[in-house]
Amino acid sequence: MGKIILTGDRPTGKLHIGHYVGSLRRRVELQNSGEYEKIFIMIADAQALTDNADNPEKVRQNVIEVALDYLACGLDPAKSTLLIQSQIPQLCELSFYYMNLVTVSRLQRNPTVKAEIQMRNFEASIPVGFFCYPISQAADITAFKATTVPVGEDQMPMLEQTKEIVHKFNSVYGETLVDPKILLPEEEACLRLPGTDGKAKMSKSLGNCIYLSEEPDEIKKKVMSMYTDPDHIRVQDPGKIEGNTVFTYLDAFCRPEHFERYLPDYANLEELKAHYQRGGLGDVKVKRFLNEVLQETLEPIRTRRKEFQKDIPYVYEVLKKGSEAAREVAEQTLQEVRNAMKINYFDDAELIREQSEKYQG
């Protein structure tokens, strides 16, 4: 069987450069590699509702924003199926059965969910749906028989949970579900891009993002006020690279040709870092360079997005078609799951005969 991709994003805001380096850039490369039989890209609105139950309008509004960001980055509906999670009810049914295969204490140990609970101040009042979202993610991945899941590092515990569910299901009910592999970004800096404030993760929910659709002056403003090394006060002071967000972003985005174009005094990032660590290189110069690099990277994305913004009904049509196609695939898997679990009473002639014989002696 060929390789199949499933991945996606929560429609809780526009997509940002963390999504880009963590998953989006890779997806487009994989899509264009021709190595994958099918690619499913999911807008996870149902998952977004698990912690935004009071704010459904936010989720509703952001579905189209995420879709526009997808198209702007080069996801192509002719090659990838773009779908909306809530339009695939089969996913709910799969989740319901998988819930029996996971314990409460196992869910409580999930480090990403733990961190998110803290971030959202849920501690004493965690919505059940939110608590269970790793199970629903297992449904998303297995419904499409995904072999490959390209995501950022924060998704590792979700993949582990999915694999456990797959193993448990297959051992109880027989070989049915496909065991997926996570595909993490190769660059260390891209695993979990920090926020512009230096916080551990750039996240829509934390407001520390540079969005893919950001206008040039806004990008510049955000870059120039980014977190660096707080002890690097005068230009001549030696500076730290570790935890210095500006350098982390350069790790994620800059290539040698950027030096030729915008900072020819240095051959590469190593030289720039060495100078900063020695002292004598000011933050402003490094930030100006990062601004050039980001401007160059984001300009074509922003331009393409504006083209797609002119025809919003087309974008909804893409999502509708994709969701329809996805529903068929998920339905097929659901039937296989029902058969394996033997909850296919009316299709099982054997069962009906057995029960008849029981009563007819």
Interface contacts to ligand ATP, rule CB under 6 A: 9-10, 12, 18-19, 22-23, 151-152, 154-155, 192-193, 201-205
Instruction: Identify the burial level of 318 via C-beta atoms within 10 angstroms of its C-beta, where 0-12 means exposed, 13-18 middle and 19 or more buried.
Output: buried
> Whose Cβ is closer to ligand ATP: residue 46's or residue 340's?
46
CB 48, min distance to ligand ATP, A: 7
d(CA 5, CA 146): 5
Least CB distance to ligand ATP at residue 181 (A): 14
Residue with tokens 């929560």: 10
3-state secondary structure 248-289: HHHHHHCCHHHHHHHCCCCCCHHHHHHHHHHCCCCHHHHHHH
The smaller minimum CB distance to ligand ATP, of residues 205 and 332, is found at 205
Instruction: State the nearest-atom distance from the C-beta of 205 to ligand ATP, in Å.
Output: 3
Radius of gyration of the chain (CA): 23
Nearer to ligand ATP, 12 or 142 (CB): 12
Backbone φ and ψ for 181, nearest 5 degrees, come out as -115, 140
| SS3 sequence of 25-38 | HHHHHHHHHCCEEE
Q: 151 or 337, CB closer to ligand ATP?
A: 151
Shortest Å, Cβ 28 to ligand ATP:
14
The two tokens of residue 207 are 């407001």
The nearer residue to ligand ATP, 109 or 199, going by C-beta atoms, is: 199
Sign of CA dihedral 9, 11, 15, 16: negative
SS3 16: strand
Question: Nearest approach, Cβ of 9 to ligand ATP (angstroms)?
Answer: 4
* Closest separation in Å from C-beta 253 to ligand ATP: 12
Distances in Å between the Cα of 33 and the Cα atoms of 3, 27, 28, 42, 359 are: 12, 10, 9, 20, 60
Beta-carbon contacts of residue 194 (< 8 Å; ≥ 6 apart) = 200, 201, 202, 245, 248
Beta carbon nearer to ligand ATP, 77 or 152: 152
The distance of closest approach from Cβ of residue 271 to ligand ATP in the complex, given in angstroms and rounded to an integer, is: 26
Beta strands in 23-142 (DSSP E): 36-43, 81-84
Least separation in angstroms between CB 228 and ligand ATP: 18
3-state helix vs strand vs coil in the chain, percent to 5 = 60, 5, 30
How near is the Cβ of 159 to ligand ATP at its closest, in Å?
A: 10
CA dihedral over 293, 297, 303, 306, signed as positive or negative: negative
- In the complex with ligand ATP, which residue's Cβ is closer, 12 or 276? 12
Task: Identify which of residues 59 and 101 has a Cβ nearer to ligand ATP in the complex.
Answer: 59
Burial of 326 (0-12, 13-18, 19+ CB in 10 A): buried
Q: Which is nearer to ligand ATP, 92 or 119 (CB)?
A: 119
Strand order of the β-sheet with 81-84 is 81-84, 36-43, 3-9, 148-150, 181-183
